[in-house]
Amino acid sequence: MAGWNVFVLIAALSMPTLAGAAIGDIRLDDKIHSMEKAGVGPVVFPHGRHEKLYRCVDCHPGIFKDRRGANDISMKSNMNRKFCGSPNCHNSRKAFPLYMCAKCHTNVRAD
């Protein structure tokens, strides 16, 4: 039985942790009604692309809480230099500016 416990422990330690596991794209659509009024669809956040460029602590928990539904992200908050619009993110020279709607939003209506 002791051998089995050691095997389970080694297997568990060799598995990727949740914090280290790739998350993939995150669909942000909790404000879909205001997005539709603005003529844009949901945001598809490329978490994997950001994982390749940054460390988790660059964004979590300072800019984003790492729990679904814990961040009240809106364009207003982004424009007020929070979340995606933080000074080191899309309100900087590091990344494209916030007014490039189609870079994040799907179904951007051409006016």
- For residue 13, the model assigns a pLDDT of 39
Strands 43-46 and 25-28: antiparallel
- For residue 12, the model assigns a pLDDT of 39
Span 26-103 CATH architecture: Alpha-Beta Complex (3.90)
Structure tokens at 72: 């009240």
- The answer, yes or no, to whether residue 48 has pLDDT greater than 70, is yes
- For residue 20, the model assigns a pLDDT of 57
C-alpha count within 13 angstroms, C-beta hemisphere, residue 75: 18
| Burial of 86: CB neighbours in 10 Å, binned 0-12, 13-18, 19+ | middle
- For residue 21, the model assigns a pLDDT of 65
Closest CA relative to residue 103, chosen from 34, 40, 32: 40
Return the domain boundaries, the chain: 26-103
pTM over 0.95: no
Band (36; pLDDT cuts 50, 70, 90): very high
